[in-house]
Amino acid sequence: MRWNWEQTDWPEFSYDSKALEAFERRFLQQSGEFLGVFRHVGPDDQNALRIELISEEAVKTSEIEGEILNRDSVQSSLRHQFGLGLESANIPAAERGIAHLMTDLYERFADPLNDATLFAWHAHLMGGNKSIKIIGAYRTHVEPMQVVSGPIHKPKIHFEAPPSNVISAEMRRFNTWFNDAAPTGKTPLPALTRAGLVHLYFVCVHPFEDGNGRIGRALAEKSLAQNLGHPSLIALAYTIERKRKDYYAALERNNKKMAVTDWLQYFAETIIEAQSTTIKRIDFYVAKAKFYERLRGQLNERQSKVIARIFKEGIDGFKGGLSAENYISITGTSRATATRDLQDLVEKQALTKIGDLRHTRYFLKFETLAKN
């Protein structure tokens, strides 16, 4: 027996629940912290923040699979889906599709899982893909569904999924298990345990021709939201993408066995990190609003452009800080003007200056609420 689905106890995964207890407690604690930080966001800004967080997840879950999307197009489509404005013209199918999936995930997280939901998600994801034969339905091809890498003449097989002729039955069992494991189901599971099993179980079935990873991550987020009772807005894909090799390695370590404590610990750690990142990003958003309020009307056009560019980098900011060369490149101004502008920003306490001469770097100066 080579793969987990070939084993006699499939899909009865086994694990040490005590090894996950500390993670489950931390998750619930941070869920409270998330709500506390989110309360600092004014009602008018909450929609904008949701769009920002959801679009980041949409872009990153696609990036994990090697698909690079246009963030502005995704945000435009999300705003339209949430009824916050008209969609920009000529939005590509991939950007519109992922926006549809993420909107459905956010608005209907509490709904039971069924084939119709999964088919709709797949149709959204693959709507513009001309290479996929079956869109919005489970795969039917007779060839083995394999995850491979390396050259064509010597491929490395990382995983082979169940044959297509058993997928409908496998997914009926999966959907029933997912709903039974919900907080109101017949056999409820703790939040992180359930989300980890959901993701691993789904990607091992691998029911679609393509898009299984993205849908699997969406299912993990749906699972978390159901356990919390509200959309998690968690930076799961954002966190996975930053350590993509670890993610694929953890999946590969756990696709040949039914004892999956190792996977569940990895996935729990990833969710905790993702949750912390979300809290920091909300905190950053609040600090950004206060920063602009404090400096309203005090920045010239060049300074405003540079500050906006730094904020666009998010919580990580410019790697190594802003240099005078960065300032000149962004604004197209002279070195003398850049020096005056930067000094003025330091005096206004918009930036903090570190280092001297060519090693001088500048960082945004503002206070955040969350503890790092």
Question: What is the DSSP secondary-structure string of 292-307?
Answer: HHHTTT---HHHHHHH
51 vs 372, more confident: 51
Query: Could you tell me the pTM of the whole model?
Result: 0.89
**In the predicted model, is pLDDT for residue 291 greater than 70?**
yes
Asked, for residue 187, whether it belongs to a domain, the answer is yes
- Looking at residues 244-259, what average pLDDT do you find? 96
Asked, for residue 70, whether it belongs to a domain, the answer is yes
| Domain end (from 283, 315, 344) | 283
CATH number of the domain that residue 335 is part of: 1.10.10.10
pLDDT band for position 372 (cuts 50, 70, 90): very low
Together in a domain, 259 and 352 = no
- Looking at residues 77-83, what average pLDDT do you find? 96
Asked, for residue 293, whether it belongs to a domain, the answer is no
Together in a domain, 107 and 235 = yes
Together in a domain, 247 and 349 = no
**In the predicted model, is pLDDT for residue 318 greater than 90?**
no
Residue located via tokens 């872009």: 59
- Tell me the CA end-to-end span of the chain in Å, nearest whole number: 46
Together in a domain, 275 and 309 = no
Together in a domain, 49 and 170 = yes
Together in a domain, 248 and 337 = no
Output the six-digit token pair for 142: 């007779």
Output the six-digit token pair for 46: 């909450």
Together in a domain, 342 and 266 = no
Q: Give the Cα separation of 235 and 275 in Å (integer).
A: 6
Together in a domain, 148 and 59 = yes
Output the six-digit token pair for 286: 């609040």
Asked, for residue 341, whether it belongs to a domain, the answer is yes
Report DSSP state, residue 318. S
CATH number of the domain that residue 182 is part of: 1.10.3290.10
Report DSSP state, residue 148. E
Residue 43, SS3 per DSSP: helix
Asked, for residue 120, whether it belongs to a domain, the answer is yes
pLDDT band for position 56 (cuts 50, 70, 90): very high
Asked, for residue 355, whether it belongs to a domain, the answer is yes
Q: What per-residue confidence (pLDDT) applies to 371?
A: 45
Query: Domain range spanning residue 169?
Result: 4-283
Question: How much of the chain, in percent, has pLDDT values that exceed 90?
Answer: 82
Question: 254-283 as b/e, with b when 16 or more CB fall inside 10 Å?
Answer: bbeebebbebbbbbbbbbbbbbbbbbbbbb
| Domain end (from 224, 253, 283) | 283
Together in a domain, 243 and 313 = no
Q: What per-residue confidence (pLDDT) applies to 115?
A: 98
Report DSSP state, residue 160. E
- Looking at residues 273-282, what average pLDDT do you find? 92
pLDDT band for position 368 (cuts 50, 70, 90): low
Together in a domain, 195 and 243 = yes
Q: Give the Cα separation of 19 and 9 in Å (integer).
A: 22
214 contacts 125 by C-beta, under 8 angstroms: yes
Q: What per-residue confidence (pLDDT) applies to 282?
A: 87
Together in a domain, 326 and 191 = no
Helix count and strand count (H, E) for the chain: 14, 4
Asked, for residue 193, whether it belongs to a domain, the answer is yes
| Domain end (from 254, 283, 312) | 283
Q: How many domains does the chain have?
A: 2
CA distances from 161 to 148, 197, 208, 271, 340 (A): 12, 17, 10, 26, 62
Q: What is the pLDDT of residues 131-190, one digit of tens each?
A: 899 999 999 999 999 999 888 888 899 999 999 999 999 999 999 999 999 999 999 999
